[in-house]
Amino acid sequence: MQRGEELPRVWIAPGAVDDVRGLLRFGSLDRLLVPVGPVVAEHAGAAAPGPALVHGPGPGGVEHDAARGIPLLEAVDRLRWCATRGLRTVVVVRGQTPSEPAALAGRLCRGLEGDAVGAVEVDLRAADDQQALKVMARLREETPRDLLLLARLSALQADLVGVARGAVAGGAGAVVVCGSVPLGRGRWWSGPSTGAISRSGVQALAQAAQEQRWPPVPMVAAGGVHDPDSADAALAAGAVAVQLGTALWADPTVLWSVAAHLEGRGDPADRTG
């Protein structure tokens, strides 16, 4: 999809499911962007495909490892599967240097399966404003000029507005505001209890946009969305779409129930429901 095009109302978080192909048992993927990734360089933690390790549930969420990275060849295989079925994808890339995400995304976009790439998302939750600018600029250089690029940010970043500003200056056409709480050693806390964190990040960026402290782009709320009511709350905070992650571990069908609910809301600008 192109920058400026209306975003799908519902997205699937990278690593939310082991293999998105399994979701076909529960419903159609035709109106969704199927996530492929996180794609990483071989030296950067690519592992055998498998679910993220869950260390234990708690009140309002679960403690889990970061989503496992997949190597380039596995990403090509998944892209090919989507291309043969006419499905659009969002390629998710991670890297240890500013150039790694761009190189991975560029290879996938230029391949025979590149027509299936509808968007590219890059994880910038550990970046500062200058790093965000560099990563996005390199990504912009290596991908089709009109392709939608998304920057994944953390609502807990010290300079959220500055990082968002850098990401947009580098070429991001949308930002994903994540509410997951980092626990160290590649572990995260995610679940319904993080919804308030994600919404606070969305609200902070919305306020900063009104104050002209960053050039606003569409925001996707990621964190704590587990039913239609929590999706409504995210849109009321200023997001135009939501991303579901750990909610799918408990009930994959919530993806379609939330999508059906939001599609019935009408114009995304109508925050009142």
Max Cα distance, the chain (Å): 47
Q: Report strand pairing: 241-244 vs 174-178.
A: unpaired
Cα separation, 104 vs 46, in Å, equals 13
| Domains, in order of start, for the chain | 10-263 (3.20.20.70)
- Between residues 66 and 124, the one the model is more confident about: 124
Element of type H or E holding 140: helix 129-142
The string of pLDDT tens digits covering residues 24-64 is: 999 999 999 999 999 999 765 445 555 567 777 777 898 88
Mean pLDDT of the chain, nearest integer: 90
pTM above 0.95, yes or no: no
Question: Would you give the DSSP letter of residue 27?
Answer: S
